[in-house]
Amino acid sequence: MSSERLAVERIGGERIIPVIRGDGMSNLLDLVDGLLEVGLSILEITMTTPGALERLADLRERRPSLALGAGSVLDADMARDAANAGAQFIVSPVFDVGIINAARDADVAVVAGAFTPTEAQKAWEAGADLVKIFPASTLGPQFLTALLAPLPHLRLVPTGGVDLSNAADFLDAGAYAVCLGGALIDRESLRTGDYDEVFRRAADLVERIGERAEVV
């Protein structure tokens, strides 16, 4: 099985993508190990995070069981750099054919950004494995249900406004997976390295969606 397909299947099986975005970051391995312990083995590090490439490379070596993604990817060069650093999936807030092609050339999965039905379909036609609906807070779970009615082949990943209170609603509306950033891993915890509350939220989230079937 290709690395690209494997990443897509892992995302569809686990259905939760924790996202790290922050200027300061302490005890990253402690964070990763705690997330692994509660059953979250996928992690996205945004390229807006200082030292993102170095952190991706370090985690790829030290925690090989993780499915690592690079987020906030804005062009093909950035996609290639992230793949070379060890990212197994690329996430962009926009639809850019160059990003999709670079990811596919590197045999990594790509999650292309979209806001409208046209953008979502165009991203899929261009070769995106998954389509990131962003910002999801503006559209809500009902948008996914409406979008999937005429376009059931799309695999949608809402992000931006997904939190513990509505993650299950997005999944019930047909999301392939959901991304959670600050609602799960907040900037203050990243800064201080105190992740007890993060782990509590993560365990609660896993329990809430644990009974939902895999979407592979």
Catalytic residues: 44, 132
**Structure tokens that stand for 67 in this block:** 């499915």
Structure-block tokens of residue 141: 């779970």
Q: Where are the beta strands (DSSP E) in 76-149?
A: 89-91, 109-114, 130-133
Where does residue 121 rank: exposed (0-12), middle (13-18), buried (19+ CB within 10 A)? middle
Distance separating the N- and C-terminal Cα atoms of the chain: 14
CB 16 within 8 A of CB 209: yes
d(CA 149, CA 173): 11
174: its two tokens: 């047909």
Residues 6+ apart with CB under 8 A from 8: 89, 109, 129, 130, 155
